[in-house]
Amino acid sequence: MNAHRSVLARTVSTPALLILLLLAIALVAKLFGSGPFERTVTELFIRIVLVVGLYIFIGNSGVMSFGHVGFMCLGAYGTAWLTIPPAMKKFALTGLPDFILQHQAPIALSLVLSPLLAAVFALLIGRILMRLAGIAASIATFAMLAVINTVYSNWETVTGATSSVVGIPMKTGVWLSFGGALFAVIVGYGYGISRYGLALRSARDEAIAAAASGVDIERQRLIAFVISAFVIGVAGVLYAHFLGVVNPDAFYLNLTFISLAMLVVGGMNSLSGAVIGVVAISAMIEILRALEKGIPVGEAMLAIPNGVQEIAIGIAMIVILIFRPSGLMRNRELRWSRWPFERTSENK
């Protein structure tokens, strides 16, 4: 069957379908949505950037990482340092270098520089961590997250310690976050079909055979680690400009686990799985939240008790994993091989 698919269908259809799906969500939010719904969709897109970033490393390398949310923290604080107006920075973050204290960068610049900070950090620490494999690597990435969290929670003059850093311009709306998701999907897919992505996946499936065929596993992992750090750094920047405040504990265990859960529920070995997982779990959360607030049934309001929402999410995740252990997408990509990609007998 594969032989009949055109090359175009195989390379373009997956990202195209995913982008169309995201575009549809963005349009629905813009055309019909209210303010709160737009915020929900913005948050959804930011989560997609994060989870696709996770997929770039975890999905392709097969190494579970508990540390990537740390890069989101770096990105978010990076943009806080760059974009908070100097008048506010002077008092809150006295430890910053003078040049940064006196200037304010536009978000466009920060969207490049702050993720770059995360990527450079990933390059430095990745050279050490990528020597490890399997569960030792997972623990080491978690230790990295814990180090980042401890430093950011205590470095009073530069990060404001555990108190929130305020005054970040709130610029992230539906379209900016959609742009972020677009970027993540394209980078994720482009990396996946590049020689580096193929080499890393071969190492994931058969490490010994890959190494024997000349794949430098450590190097390939490092490349994926740095790219995913950059993408997740973008998620951090968008998130900071979405909320307007950053706080180190926003980027710790809760976010780590919920983003990993989205990845695994969707199916951690495919890009489509990463995107579908975020959409599915976010949709479930929103529906249950709406139920918690109550829906009018005739005269009365029918509402589920507070706290049931989280429990129901947990149960739903377990049920999905029991029936689909390899995730909703079963590790496959969304594909479209009919019009306009179909190969008819004339052009054979």
Partner 1 sequence: MTAILQIVFDALSLGSIYALGALGIALIFGVMRLVNFAHGDYISFCVFAMLVPSTDAMSEMFLGSLPTVVLVPVILLIGAGVSVLSEIVVFRRLRDANPATMMIASFALGFILKHFLLMLFSSRPKSINLWPDLSLPVEILGARLPLLQLIAIGITIIILVALSAFLKQTRFGLEMRAAAENFTMARMLGVKANRVILIAFAISGMLAASIGLLLAAQTGTADIQMGVSVMLVAFIATVIGGLGSLAGAVVAGYLIGAASVLMQVILPLEARPFRDAFVYAAVIACLIWRPQGLFAPKSAKQRV
Question: Is residue 302 a contact point for partner 1 (CB under 8 A)?
Answer: no
Q: Report the alpha-carbon distance of residue 50 to residue 56 in Å, rounded.
A: 10
Q: Report the alpha-carbon distance of residue 260 to residue 145 in Å, rounded.
A: 14
CB of 136 to partner 1, least distance (A): 5
Q: Report the alpha-carbon distance of residue 44 to residue 174 in Å, rounded.
A: 10
Which residue stretch of 91-99, 115-123, 295-303, 319-327 sits at the interface with partner 1 (rule: CB under 8 A)? Answer: 319-327
Question: Is residue 140 a contact point for partner 1 (CB under 8 A)?
Answer: yes
Nearest in space to 252 (alpha carbons), one of 121, 137, 114, 145: 145
3-state secondary structure 47-112: HHHHHHHHHHHHHHHCCCCCCCHHHHHHHHHHHHHHHCCHHHHHHHCCCCCHHHHHCCCCHHHHHH
Which residue stretch of 174-182, 227-235, 285-293, 322-330 sits at the interface with partner 1 (rule: CB under 8 A)? Answer: 322-330
Question: Is residue 54 a contact point for partner 1 (CB under 8 A)?
Answer: no
Which residue stretch of 23-31, 72-80, 173-181, 262-270 sits at the interface with partner 1 (rule: CB under 8 A)? Answer: 262-270
Question: Residue holding tokens 């008819």?
Answer: 344
What are 64's two structure tokens?
Answer: 């579970």
Question: Is residue 214 a contact point for partner 1 (CB under 8 A)?
Answer: no
Build a one-symbol-per-residue string for 2-41: x at contacts with partner 1 by CB under 8 A, - elsewhere. ----------------------------------------
Choice from 23, 124, 136, 301 touching partner 1 (CB under 8 A): 136
Choice from 2, 99, 322, 348 touching partner 1 (CB under 8 A): 322
Which residue stretch of 25-33, 90-98, 185-193, 302-310 sits at the interface with partner 1 (rule: CB under 8 A)? Answer: 302-310
What are 188's two structure tokens?
Answer: 């994720």
Choice from 36, 97, 307, 340 touching partner 1 (CB under 8 A): 307
Alpha carbons within 13 angstroms on the beta-carbon side of residue 78 total: 28
- Asked whether 331 and 62 are in contact (CB, 8 A), the reply is no
Question: Is residue 124 a contact point for partner 1 (CB under 8 A)?
Answer: no
Question: Is residue 213 a contact point for partner 1 (CB under 8 A)?
Answer: no
Question: Is residue 306 a contact point for partner 1 (CB under 8 A)?
Answer: yes
Question: Residue holding tokens 């390379």?
Answer: 11
- Asked whether 249 and 153 are in contact (CB, 8 A), the reply is yes
Choice from 150, 157, 163, 213 touching partner 1 (CB under 8 A): 150
Cite the beta strand spans of 284-343 per DSSP E.
295-297, 300-302
Choice from 116, 120, 139, 303 touching partner 1 (CB under 8 A): 139
Report which residue type is found at 229: A
Closer residue to partner 1 in complex, CB, 142/341: 142
Choice from 8, 23, 27, 135 touching partner 1 (CB under 8 A): 135
Report which residue type is found at 180: G
Buried b / exposed e along 107-131 (16+ C-beta atoms within 10 A): beebbebbbbbbbebbeebbeebbe
Question: Is residue 264 a contact point for partner 1 (CB under 8 A)?
Answer: yes
Which residue stretch of 77-85, 130-138, 182-190, 235-243 sits at the interface with partner 1 (rule: CB under 8 A)? Answer: 130-138
Question: Is residue 142 a contact point for partner 1 (CB under 8 A)?
Answer: yes
CB of 135 to partner 1, least distance (A): 6
What are 19's two structure tokens?
Answer: 């982008």
By the criterion CB under 8 A, which residues form the site for partner 1?
Answer: 64, 128-129, 131-133, 135-136, 139-140, 142-144, 146-147, 150-151, 154, 208, 253, 257, 260-261, 264-265, 268, 305-308, 310-311, 313-315, 317-318, 321-322, 325-327
